[in-house]
Amino acid sequence: MSSSFTPFNRILMGPGPSNVNPKVLQALSKPALGHLDPQFIGLMDEIKDLLRYTFKTENEATFVLSGPGSLGMEACLVNLIHPGDKVIVCVGGYFANRMTQIVEKIGGNLVTVKETWGRAIDPENLEHSLKQNPDTKVVAFVHAETSTGALSDIKTLSGIAHKYGAFVIADTVTSLGAVEVRIDEWKIDAAYSCSQKGLACVAGMSPITFSQHAVEFIKNRKIPVQSWFNDLNLLLSYWNGPGKRAYHHTAPSNQFYGLHEALLLLKEEGIENSWQRHKENSVKLILRLKELGLEPLVPENERIPNLLTIKIPHGVDELKVRTELLNKHNLEIGAGLGELAGKVWRIGLMGYNSNEKMIDYCIGAFKDVLK
């Protein structure tokens, strides 16, 4: 006979999800509300304000999609690209590759700027590509590439793209909340993220923000947005509608409670303090891993602080190590993806888990398994 499901309380130190603050878990269990309940509308407005703080933006079109970060990726691309538009995607990992697939599916004229996996995007390569393709309408890139651990300088990339009059789309899935992100200052036209990494909430929500310039372009499109669910015009009628809001979809109220609580906790800490905490704990974990003979893949000045790719030593069975970490120590870390499959482990130190207690636990577990 089946009984209620009770999972092991894993220590989640992979590329996401990360463990969730007990206050957030508590918030998730509050009574459900209808998606047009006046209380829920008030909560939506508070989430928008908290996200503006987190994204460092004044954008009115800042809200949450009811789905994972990949939904946010598709929303940004499908709203800003017409069939036939030339689009440059900077590709240095698995998730930028996903961007290219979406661009092709919606009929964009794709140009890629390729980078070695494990390295930040070289701004000179983007400039070179734009000189060759001055009619580019959109430039898209990943800030913190989850598959490789490489952090790109998107402030510089954005500046280059705007020089050529292109819209800029940034993936901040692994950076938001844990790494410096300044949407307005860096002139990012559209950005998306997720809820289960730096924001330390449960998965299934995608914070998103569009500049006023982007919103005006989308409202005046000659060809309708090629998605019903992700059409910004419809989404804004639900999130920003004056007075009575138009029904769009049944938003998951309990997940929104959790996100609201997670964003409140982040604001209480101070976003700049969170950026600093992640940076300091990353340095500590790298030093401890090096003592075990484990070296990071990414050069120090290009490294995501909250997601480290660690090279697998010669002769070590990477799957066996991950399996023993999980079975003996209840500790989950990530495997390599794409070109880095079998070559690296991915260790997340993000959100609620970015603290010295987790560093000590991770090192102790590795010591035991590697001996």
CA distances to 94, 188, 305 from 71, rounded to whole Å, are: 16, 18, 25
pLDDT band at 243 (very low <50, low <70, confident <90, very high): low
Say whether both 28 and 83 belong to one domain: yes
pLDDT at 319: 97
What pLDDT shows up at residue 173? Answer: 98
Answer whether residue 2 shows pLDDT above 90. Answer: no
**Is residue 3 a part of any domain in this protein?**
no
Q: Burial code of 214-230, b = ≥16 C-beta within 10 A, e = fewer?
A: bbebbeeeeeebebeeb
Higher per-residue confidence, 1 vs 274: 274
**Same domain (yes/no): 242, 287:** no
Domain check: are 124 and 197 in the same one? yes
* For the chain, percent of residues with pLDDT exceeding 90: 95
Give the pLDDT confidence of 82-108 residue by residue, as tens digits. 999 999 999 999 999 999 999 999 999
The total number of structural domains that make up the chain: 2
pLDDT at 116: 97
Taking CB atoms within 8 Å and a gap of at least 24, the contacts of 39-46 are: 40/251, 40/253, 40/256, 41/245, 43/253, 43/256, 43/257, 43/260, 44/239, 44/251, 44/256, 46/260
Residues 244 and 349 in one domain: no
Query: Last residue of a domain, which of 266, 290, 314?
Result: 266
Among 210, 237, 266, the domain-final residue is 266
Model confidence band, residue 20 (pLDDT cutoffs 50, 70, 90) = very high
Classify the phi-psi angles of 117: left when phi > 0, otherwise alpha if psi is within -120 to 50, otherwise beta: beta
Alpha-carbon gap, residue 320 to 150, rounded angstroms: 26
HSE, side-chain direction, 13 A CA sphere, residue 158: 21
* CA distance readout (Å), 201 to 11, 27, 28, 56, 63: 15, 11, 10, 19, 16
Residue-level pLDDT at 1: 79
Last residue of a domain, one of 211, 237, 266: 266
pLDDT for residue 261: 98
Confidence band (pLDDT; 50, 70, 90) for 371? confident
Residues 90 and 186 in one domain: yes
Q: Nearest Cα to 257, choosing from 71, 59, 46?
A: 46
Same domain, 230 and 341: no
Query: Which residues, listed in sequence order, are joined to residue 110 by a DSSP beta bridge?
Result: 87
Residue 154 lies in a domain: yes
Write out the residue range of the structural domain in which residue 197 sits.
Answer: 22-266
354: which 2 tokens?
């970015």
From edge to edge, which strands make up the β-sheet containing 206-210?
Answer: 61-65, 206-210, 190-192, 167-171, 138-142, 86-91, 109-114
Residue 48 counted as domain residue: yes
Structural domain includes residue 109: yes
Q: Looking at the domain assignment, is residue 176 inside a domain?
A: yes
Q: pLDDT tens digits, residue range 140-177? A: 999 999 999 999 999 999 999 999 999 999 999 999 99
Q: Is 22 exposed, middle or buried (0-12, 13-18, 19+ CB in 10 A)?
A: exposed
Lowest-confidence pick of 39-53, 192-206, 244-258, 295-309: 244-258
93 plus 238 within the same structural domain: yes
pLDDT per residue as tens digits for the range 330-340: 999 999 999 99
Question: Encoding tokens for residue 310?
Answer: 């660690």
CB atoms within 10 A of CB 313: 13
* DSSP line for 178-211: TS---TTTTT-SEEE--SSSTT-S-SS-EEEEE-
**Residue 4 belongs to a domain:** no
Confidence bin at 216 (pLDDT 50/70/90): very high
Q: Residue 54: which pLDDT band, with cuts at 50, 70 and 90? A: very high
Compute the average pLDDT of residues 181-202.
98
Q: Compute the distance between CA of residue 55 and CA of residue 36 in angstroms, rounded to an integer.
A: 26
- Band (240; pLDDT cuts 50, 70, 90): confident
Strands 190-192 and 167-171: parallel
DSSP for residue 142: E
**Cβ neighbours, 10 Å, residue 34:** 11
Query: Which CATH number is 55's domain given?
Result: 3.40.640.10
CATH for 309: 3.90.1150.10
Q: What are phi and psi of 21, to 5 degrees?
A: -55, 135
Same domain, 291 and 364: yes
Domain assignment present for 149: yes
Q: Are residues 260 and 275 in the same domain?
A: no
Mean pLDDT of 120-138: 98
* CA nearest to 178, candidates 62, 15, 305, 93: 305
Mean pLDDT over 253-276 rounds to 98
Residue at 6 is within a domain: no
Q: Do residues 243 and 317 share a domain? A: no
220 and 344 together in one domain: no
Residues 89 and 166 in one domain: yes
